[in-house]
């Protein structure tokens, strides 16, 4: 592994909130005295009624219960907007950069207050009340942030569905949480291409009787279908609404949002986050990890459809009164220099993106980066998947000009905020390592039997104690929450990731150890893709695994068994790829599809994905234990087919 170490640069250290000694001191206190530590840091948030209790958590598999600040009351929108009005009402809250480089806007905290209140009043007038679920299916426009905060303001629980998901995927998520309203736009615009959001929503809503209201933002102005009494134009309704809307007083443990994420089995899970602990954790990690100082321009390139957009475009930064840049487009449009042009244009200080984007841009060479000055950049960040040292070095040298530390932040939808990460002023960096735990986070590496391993070692990553940003349950299915995260290694939260710890106590995430594929930093359950494939009339069976992919990190490799009598043609392959795209969305498109006359199974009928993974990686001589195979001939056949393709 990479032995190179990058110490904290002096300029970074001189302005940093935390140096190494302070990190150690704060970390020690956070684990020895969590009540004292989080009791103090909880005060970074404004509470209507202060809490008297801090942590109340049980990881006992018979009674998993996670509560933080349980008797405090607050409102997330108040913390992101109202409390800043006096001091920084005229400061920019959101810099919006459109898909077209000529399109941009600056929204001050005062503007934000008006927009959010108006939309909140529109929702209220349509009967949306505290506790109701509202689905947001939006492009990256400021109205997406207004929608989140309007829900938070009135105590409605938002559930954002990424704009790249299909009507079916959207419908499933709306139905699972019985949303009463949907907020969408006529179309989205990405890389010059239109995305038919309203048409998709219409198709989904045909099967979602719980939805009484669909608020539509006009983004492109294209003609759309309209359902009277259900659909309302955002611009018309908000114009007529009052710009004053009181904040609902929420208990710390009242839900703030649901976000669906893929797991190793079954349909996506509705990860539920509550208000108090989440806000404390999102704002605190945003400040310390990005060493945020007043006036810094901070850009996280994620989409609000993913958890990174929730915590590090909206809730964390806005709770801190930050300037948060929101980008509608893609890194390659109009050309591969776009990210860097936006950095120069808005004088971005902190830039936070995903390894897949870095790898894709790296492939374009240095010229698109070198066209730009990038002298405003001070700090770089990475999230979503392990960053390979080669991409790390390129990011560090070519983008950051060897001046800017890279914070490689490991976390999950479930964790609400960053758990393992460098702190810019405190942590020497090793390319490819997420380095050390954030305050209060106690990682443990365990072997297959759950034995905790000490020192330099490798195994499965668990977290032994709770932190305030942790998810509280799977919406509507607490048992699934317990089963998924707390039964594999009783008494600990199991992350689903593999991990190595080196001699210096640095953590290196090695990737998922379950049946989840990380495609371009987005999680996809193999089971979901398989279910989509077997829905096709010609498919008898399918098995999906992840395989190494140059840009995406992992790509989707599908083995498909056709029904008897169906001809395996290239046209059918294309059709099946399209089929999955249509069923789930473009992010689920298989990158490779191989015909499998039979699948390797155990005698009890379990598909042996381990073997399929090896075949997809061309590691034919290293298949591991094959003694439990019901029919070894199946494997030889798959290897033959794989070899003949090349």
Strand, coil or helix: 154: helix
412 is in an annotated binding site: yes
500 is in an annotated binding site: no
Q: CA separation (Å) from 63 to 123, 325, 401, 597?
A: 36, 41, 51, 46
3-state secondary structure 543-588: EEEEEEECCCEEEEEEEEEECCCCCCCHHHHHHHHHHHHHHCCHHH
Residue 154: phi and psi, rounded to 5, are: -100, 5
CA distance 416 to 126: 30
Q: Is residue 303 involved in binding ligand 6R9 (CB under 6 A)?
A: no
Binding span for ligand 6R9 by CB under 6 A among 114-122, 225-233, 361-369, 515-523: 515-523
Based on CB atoms, which residue is closest to ligand 6R9, 37 or 162? 162
Q: Is residue 496 involved in binding ligand 6R9 (CB under 6 A)?
A: yes
Q: Is residue 307 involved in binding ligand 6R9 (CB under 6 A)?
A: yes
Q: How far is CA 86 from the centre of its chain?
A: 32
Binding span for ligand 6R9 by CB under 6 A among 72-80, 147-155, 216-224, 518-526: 518-526
Q: Looking at 245, 361, 509, 558, which residue binds ligand 6R9 (CB under 6 A)?
A: 509
Q: Looking at 268, 384, 416, 600, which residue binds ligand 6R9 (CB under 6 A)?
A: 384
385 is in an annotated binding site: yes
Q: Looking at 518, 520, 554, 561, which residue binds ligand 6R9 (CB under 6 A)?
A: 518
Contacts of 541 (CB under 8 A, 6+ apart): 534, 560, 561, 596, 599
Q: Is residue 352 involved in binding ligand 6R9 (CB under 6 A)?
A: no
Binding span for ligand 6R9 by CB under 6 A among 5-13, 29-37, 132-140, 516-524: 516-524
Contact of 342 with 418, CB cutoff 8 Å: no
Based on CB atoms, which residue is closest to ligand 6R9, 121 or 353? 353
Q: CA separation (Å) from 482 to 59, 66, 152, 290?
A: 9, 11, 27, 32
Q: Which of residues 607-636 bind ligand 6R9 (CB under 6 A)?
A: none
Contact of 159 with 179, CB cutoff 8 Å: yes
Q: Which residues pair with 446 in a beta bridge?
A: 452, 460
CA distance 248 to 78: 9
Strand pairing report for 323-327 and 92-97 = parallel
Binding span for ligand 6R9 by CB under 6 A among 17-25, 325-333, 382-390, 550-558: 382-390
Binding track, positions 251-270, relative to ligand 6R9; x by CB under 6 A: ----------x---------
Smallest distance from ligand 6R9 to CB 435, Å? 10
Smallest distance from ligand 6R9 to CB 555, Å? 15
User: Dihedral of CA 456/460/463/464: which sign?
Assistant: negative
H-run or E-run covering 299 = strand 297-300
Q: Is residue 523 involved in binding ligand 6R9 (CB under 6 A)?
A: yes
Residue 493: phi and psi, rounded to 5, are: -85, 120
Contact of 506 with 407, CB cutoff 8 Å: no
H-run or E-run covering 382 = strand 379-383
413 is in an annotated binding site: yes
Q: Which of residues 525-584 bind ligand 6R9 (CB under 6 A)?
A: none
Q: Looking at 411, 489, 493, 559, which residue binds ligand 6R9 (CB under 6 A)?
A: 411
The count of residues interacting with ligand 6R9 (CB under 6 A) is 25
Q: Is residue 512 involved in binding ligand 6R9 (CB under 6 A)?
A: yes
436 is in an annotated binding site: no
Based on CB atoms, which residue is closest to ligand 6R9, 307 or 545? 307
Q: Is residue 409 involved in binding ligand 6R9 (CB under 6 A)?
A: yes
Q: Which residues pair with 124 in a beta bridge?
A: none
Binding residue numbers for Mg(2+): 534, 536, 539
Residue ranges in contact with ligand 6R9 by CB under 6 A: 261, 306-308, 382-386, 408-413, 434, 495-497, 509, 511-512, 518, 521, 523
Binding residue numbers: 190-193, 308, 384-386, 408-413, 497, 512, 520, 523, 534, 536, 539, 581
């Amino acid at each position: 592994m990479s032995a190179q170490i990058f110490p904290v640069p002096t300029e970074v250290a001189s302005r940093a909130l935390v140096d190494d000694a302070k990190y150690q001191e704060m970390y020690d206190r956070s684990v020895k005295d969590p009540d004292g530590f989080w009791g103090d840091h909880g005060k970074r948030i404004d509470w209507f009624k202060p809490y008297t209790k801090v942590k109340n958590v049980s990881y006992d598999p018979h009674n998993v219960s996670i509560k933080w600040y349980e008797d405090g009351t607050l409102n997330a929108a108040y913390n992101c907007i109202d409390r800043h009005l006096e001091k920084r009402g005229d400061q920019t809250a959101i810099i919006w950069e459109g898909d077209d480089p000529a399109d941009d806007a600056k929204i001050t905290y005062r503007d934000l207050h008006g927009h959010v209140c108006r939309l909140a009043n529109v929702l209220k007038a349509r009967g949306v009340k505290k506790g109701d679920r509202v689905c947001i299916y939006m492009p990256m426009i400021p109205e997406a942030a207004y929608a989140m905060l309007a829900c938070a303001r009135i105590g409605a629980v938002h559930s954002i569905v990424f704009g790249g998901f299909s009507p079916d995927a959207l419908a499933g998520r709306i139905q699972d949480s019985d949303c009463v309203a949907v907020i969408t736009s006529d179309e989205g615009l990405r890389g010059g291409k239109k995305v038919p959001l309203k048409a998709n929503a219409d198709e989904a809503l045909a099967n979602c009787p719980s939805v009484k209201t669909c608020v539509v933002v006009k983004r492109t102005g294209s003609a759309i279908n309209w359902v009277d009494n259900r659909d309302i134009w955002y611009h018309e309704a908000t114009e007529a609404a009052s710009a004053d809307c009181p904040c609902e007083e929420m208990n710390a443990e009242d839900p703030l949002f649901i976000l669906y994420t893929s797991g190793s089995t079954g349909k996506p899970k509705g990860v539920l986050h509550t208000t108090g602990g989440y806000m404390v954790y999102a704002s605190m990690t945003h400040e310390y990890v990005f060493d945020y100082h007043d006036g810094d321009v901070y850009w996280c390139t994620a989409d609000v459809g993913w958890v990174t957009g929730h915590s590090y475009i909206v809730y964390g930064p806005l709770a801190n009164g930050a300037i948060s840049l929101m980008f509608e487009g893609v890194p390659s449009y109009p050309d591969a220099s776009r990210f860097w042009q936006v950095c120069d244009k808005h004088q971005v200080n902190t830039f936070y993106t995903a390894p897949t984007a870095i790898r894709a841009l790296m492939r374009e060479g240095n010229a698109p980066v070198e066209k730009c000055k990038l002298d405003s950049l001070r700090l770089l960040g990475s999230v979503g998947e392990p960053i390979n040292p080669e991409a790390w070095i390129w990011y560090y040298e070519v983008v950051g000009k060897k001046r800017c530390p890279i914070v490689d932040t490991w976390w999950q939808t479930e964790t609400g905020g960053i758990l393992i990460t460098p702190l810019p002023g405190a942590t020497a960096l090793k390319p490819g390592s997420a380095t050390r735990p954030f305050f209060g986070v106690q990682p443990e590496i365990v072997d297959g039997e759950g034995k905790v391993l000490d020192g330099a070692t490798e195994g499965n990553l668990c977290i032994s104690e709770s932190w305030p940003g942790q998810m509280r349950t799977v919406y509507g299915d607490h048992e699934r929450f317990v089963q998924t995260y707390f039964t594999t290694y009783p008494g600990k939260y199991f992350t689903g990731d593999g991990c190595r710890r080196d001699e210096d106590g640095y953590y290196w995430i090695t990737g998922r150890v379950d049946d989840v594929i990380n495609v371009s930093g987005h999680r996809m359950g193999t089971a979901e893709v398989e279910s989509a494939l077997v829905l096709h009339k010609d498919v008898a069976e399918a098995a999906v695994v992840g395989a190494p992919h140059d840009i995406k990190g992992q790509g989707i490799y599908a083995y498909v068994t056709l029904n008897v009598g169906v001809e395996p043609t290239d046209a059918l392959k294309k059709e099946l790829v399209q089929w999955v795209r249509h069923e789930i969305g473009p992010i689920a498109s298989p990158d490779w599809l191989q015909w499998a006359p039979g699948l390797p199974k155990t005698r009890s009928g379990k598909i042996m994905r381990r073997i399929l993974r090896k075949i997809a990686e061309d590691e034919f001589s290293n298949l591991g234990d094959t003694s439990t195979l019901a029919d070894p001939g199946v494997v030889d056949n798959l290897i033959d087919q794989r070899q003949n393709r090349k």
